[in-house]
Amino acid sequence: MKKQVVAMIAAFVMTACVGAAMLGIGGVALFNKNGQTPANSQSQVSQISASSSSQTVQQLQDLVSQYQSREQQYQQREQQYKQQIEQANSQLQAAQQQMQQVQLLMLALQQRGIITITSDGQVIINR
């Protein structure tokens, strides 16, 4: 029976040591300010929320800047295209005036009998 009592005391002492160690480690972890906070902790959630919202705001501001830059590029291209269209229109008007002058010249030459234009478009010079 003496062996059983010694075994019970040894078991009680070992259990007490393990329990005290567990309580000690838990207490240190609980009061450690430099340790990791639990994942579902309110303070960590608010830090993540504030950090992610500032990142989101920065990303949105970057997007706005990109869109403003693109808009300026598009406006510059639009101005270039307008200038090119105006140039093409003035060239077209000049070509139309030149064509009218050629038509008037051909008509005057035909009326004086210097040239004859056949029905198939051939120009014959009369001598």
- Domain assignment present for 12: yes
Domain count, the chain: 1
Question: pLDDT at position 75, please?
Answer: 96
pLDDT at 55: 84
The reported pLDDT for the residue numbered 29 is 77
Q: Confirm whether 2 is domain-assigned.
A: yes
Note down pLDDT in tens along the chain; length 127 residues: 788 888 888 888 899 888 888 888 888 877 777 766 665 656 555 555 666 788 888 899 999 999 999 999 999 999 999 999 999 999 999 999 999 999 999 999 999 999 998 999 898 998 7
Q: CA 124, CA 117: separation in Å to the nearest integer?
A: 6
CA gap 74, 88 in Å, rounded:
21
- Let me know if residue 46 belongs to a domain: no
In-domain check, residue 84:
no
| Structural domain boundaries, residue 18 | 1-30
Assigned domain for 37 exists: no
Residue 10 lies in a domain: yes
Q: What's the pLDDT at 40?
A: 60
105: in domain: no
Angle made by CA atoms 96, 100, 105, in degrees to the nearest 5: 145
Assess contact for 37 and 44: CB atoms under 8 A: yes
Instruction: Round to whole Å and give the CA distance between 95 and 86.
Output: 14
Residue 65 maps to a domain: no
Residue 121, sorted as left (phi over 0), alpha (psi -120 to 50) or beta, turns out to be left
